[in-house]
Amino acid sequence: MRDEFDFSNGNRGAVIPTSPGKVRVTIRLDREVLDWFRKRVDATGGGNYQTEINCALREHMAREPWAEEMRADTTGGA
């Protein structure tokens, strides 16, 4: 290995660019939820647990009437 490396032409940031339409967010999940998605990905031969979470959220969005369900969960009603 060399004693010194020249990074003067290097680029900062992610090594793999983000896909168009994707946004980086910070979200706090229960450990059990994260573990479940990671185990699911491992059991199916690999992949990305973040993609699985995104798919699960999209499936939830497609359900009707999801907005009323969320409102009931936060207000304690219905």
Q: What is the reported pLDDT for 75?
A: 64
Q: Structurally, how many domains does the chain consist of?
A: 1
Which of 16, 12, 11, 13 has its CA nearest to residue 50? 16
The pLDDT confidence band at residue 13, using thresholds 50, 70 and 90, is: confident
Which of 52, 29, 28 has its CA nearest to residue 40? 52
**What letter does residue 78 receive in the DSSP assignment?**
-
Question: Per the domain annotation, does 53 fall within a domain?
Answer: yes
| Separation of CA 32 from chain center | 15
The domain containing residue 62 runs over which residues? 31-75
The pLDDT confidence band at residue 63, using thresholds 50, 70 and 90, is: confident
Question: Per the domain annotation, does 24 fall within a domain?
Answer: no
Q: What is the reported pLDDT for 53?
A: 96
Question: Per the domain annotation, does 54 fall within a domain?
Answer: yes
Question: Per the domain annotation, does 18 fall within a domain?
Answer: no
Tens digits of per-residue pLDDT, 17-56? 778 888 889 999 999 999 999 999 999 998 899 999 999 9
Question: Per the domain annotation, does 19 fall within a domain?
Answer: no
State the Cα–Cα distance between residues 64 and 48, nearest whole angstrom: 27
Q: Are the beta carbons of 35 and 43 closer than 8 angstroms? A: no
